[in-house]
């Protein structure tokens, strides 16, 4: 019987347990462009805002590429184009690092790689990428969740040894549905109620119902850590831990809130069988380590 460090789902209510993994795995000095204080902030809060991580020129190319992908959505892998729950507007485009050379280059950015490989203390690979378009007037919300809870239950991610980088392709402000985070919630694993339906991803990417903690859990953790909604100009990036609770409200403004997300998983944290007992989700959502990763490296 496989030992499950983070049992979730198949229960009536949300239950808590303490995180059993480090947040920052390396004890060495961080890469030069990041200070030790910033790494300590990430360790404490589970989130770090990096202003101007990408240049205006890099962002302009990425925005033009996003427009091209949206215009040519019919040429993309069909399952990777997810539409809004209440309209035909595009909500997300997944696997952009495999469908676009420009987004592939962004994912290979040397500063990004140095930073995430420092935090995870291992080589990394892109387990998932997506552009969340959150279109003007029509961008629906993303319910409260921990990405790791889904990736553990439905993709078989064994340990909390992955991080996400959200890069602003448009202005993120308090108006247009910025991602809200519960700082410090990454140190608590909230096991969620409910049973994972077959092919859950076919609905969860439009409206997540399973893997959503109860309001009491969000209230309690927000009382402790508060709420933040980083804002900034295009090129700003937000690095956040795989287990940090986050959500975003709907976008009613005339301005889209388009961000590209790259999920970096440690090679030693290769995906196993889903811990909720279901069948693995498709590769466009959860890329398994190419050529198989090394076995789990001691912390
Ligand atoms: O299921 C997933 O993998 C996706 N769902 C959400 C709400 N965030 C992480 C990821 O994009
Ligand atoms: Fe998420």
Please identify, by atom number, the ligand 1 atom nearest to the C-alpha of residue 150: 1
Q: What is the pLDDT of residue 1?
A: 74
CB 270 within 8 A of CB 292: yes
User: Is residue 285 helix, strand or coil?
Assistant: coil
Q: What does the pLDDT look like over 176-191, one tens digit per residue?
A: 999 999 999 999 999 9
CATH T-level fold of 15-24+36-269 = Jelly Rolls (2.60.120)
pLDDT higher than threshold 90 for residue 257: yes
Q: 243 CA distance to ligand 2 centroid (A)?
A: 9
Please identify, by atom number, the ligand 1 atom nearest to the C-alpha of residue 130: 11
CB 169 within 8 A of CB 103: no
Ligand 1 pocket residue status of 168, Cβ below 6 Å: no
The gap from C-alpha 144 to its chain's centroid, in whole angstroms, comes to 12
Pocket mutation for ligand 1, best pick of 165, 204, 259 (most atoms within 8 Å of C-beta) = 204
pTM higher than the cut 0.75: yes
Q: What is the pLDDT of residue 2?
A: 83
Query: Which among 185, 68, 180 is positioned nearest to 131, based on CA atoms?
Result: 68
Rounded CA gap, 287 and 274, in Å? 13
Q: Atom 8 (ligand 1): residue with closest C-alpha?
A: 147
Ligand 1 pocket residue status of 130, Cβ below 6 Å: yes
The arithmetic mean of pLDDT across residues 257-270, rounded, is 97
Q: Atom 10 (ligand 1): residue with closest C-alpha?
A: 147
Query: Which among 152, 145, 141, 134 is positioned nearest to 258, based on CA atoms?
Result: 134
Q: In angstroms, how far apart are the furthest CA atoms of the chain?
A: 53
Binned at pLDDT 50, 70 and 90, residue 290 comes out as: low
87 — phi, psi (to 5°)? -160, -175
Q: 264 CA distance to ligand 2 centroid (A)?
A: 13
DSSP state of 76: S
Q: 50 CA distance to ligand 2 centroid (A)?
A: 19
The arithmetic mean of pLDDT across residues 247-275, rounded, is 96
Q: Please identify every residue whose CB atom is under 5 Å from ligand 2, which is an ion.
A: 147
Q: What is the pLDDT of residue 298?
A: 37
Provide the H-helix boundaries in the chain. Answer: 36-45, 56-71, 96-99, 101-107, 110-120, 147-155, 201-204, 215-225
The arithmetic mean of pLDDT across residues 218-238, rounded, is 98
Q: 2 CA distance to ligand 2 centroid (A)?
A: 26
Q: 147 CA distance to ligand 1 centroid (A)?
A: 6
pLDDT higher than threshold 60 for residue 293: no
Q: Are strands 81-83 and 90-94 parallel, antiparallel or unpaired?
A: antiparallel
Q: Atom 5 (ligand 1): residue with closest C-alpha?
A: 205
Mean predicted lDDT score pLDDT of the chain:
95
Query: Which among 41, 165, 116 is positioned nearest to 266, based on CA atoms?
Result: 116
Query: Which among 131, 125, 162 is positioned nearest to 287, based on CA atoms?
Result: 125
- Give the HSE-up count for residue 265: Cα atoms under 13 Å, Cβ half-sphere: 29
Please identify, by atom number, the ligand 1 atom nearest to the C-alpha of residue 285: 3
Binned at pLDDT 50, 70 and 90, residue 292 comes out as: low
Q: What does the pLDDT look like over 131-169, one tens digit per residue?
A: 999 999 989 999 999 999 999 999 999 999 999 999 999
Q: What is the pLDDT of residue 289?
A: 73
Which residue is associated with the tokens 């077959």? 198
Residue ranges of domains in the chain: 15-24+36-269
Q: What does the pLDDT look like over 3-56, one tens digit per residue?
A: 999 999 988 899 999 999 999 999 999 999 999 999 999 999 999 999 999 999
Residues across the chain: 299
Q: What is the pLDDT of residue 299?
A: 37
Q: What percent of the chain has pLDDT over 70?
A: 97
Binned at pLDDT 50, 70 and 90, residue 233 comes out as: very high
CB 270 within 8 A of CB 288: yes
Ligand 1 pocket residue status of 142, Cβ below 6 Å: yes
Q: 114 CA distance to ligand 1 centroid (A)?
A: 24
């Amino acid at each position: 019987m496989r030992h499950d460090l983070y049992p979730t789902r198949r229960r009536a209510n949300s239950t808590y347990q303490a995180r059993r993994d480090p947040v920052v795995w390396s004890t060495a000095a961080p890469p030069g462009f990041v200070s030790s204080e910033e790494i300590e902030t990430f360790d404490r809060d589970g989130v770090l805002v990096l202003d101007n991580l990408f240049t205006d020129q890099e962002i302009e190319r990425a925005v033009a590429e996003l427009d091209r992908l949206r215009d040519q959505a019919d040429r993309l892998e069909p399952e990777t184009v997810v539409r809004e729950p209440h309209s035909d507007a595009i909500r997300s485009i997944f696997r952009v690092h495999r469908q676009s050379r420009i987004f592939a280059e962004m994912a290979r950015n040397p500063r990004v790689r140095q930073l995430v490989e420092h935090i995870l203390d291992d080589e990394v690979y892109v387990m998932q990428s997506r552009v969340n378009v959150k279109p003007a007037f029509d961008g629906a919300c993303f319910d409260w969740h921990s990405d790791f809870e889904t990736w553990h239950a439905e993709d078989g991610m064994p340990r909390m040894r992955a991080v996400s980088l959200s890069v602003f392709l448009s202005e993120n402000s308090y108006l247009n549905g910025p991602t809200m985070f519960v700082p410090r919630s990454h140190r608590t694993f909230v096991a969620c109620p409910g049973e994972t339906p077959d092919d859950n991803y076919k609905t969860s990417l439009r409206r997540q119902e399973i893997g959503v903690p109860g309001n009491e859990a969000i209230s309690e953790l927000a009382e402790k850590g508060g709420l933040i909604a980083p804002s900034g100009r295009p090129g700003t990036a937000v690095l956040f831990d795989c287990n940090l609770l986050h959500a975003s409200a709907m976008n009613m403004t005339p301005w889209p809130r388009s961000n590209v997300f790259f999920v970096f998983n440690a090679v030693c944290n290769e995906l196993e069988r889903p811990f909720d007992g279901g069948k693995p989700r498709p590769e466009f959502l959860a890329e398994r380590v190419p050529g198989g990763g090394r076995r789990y490296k001691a912390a």
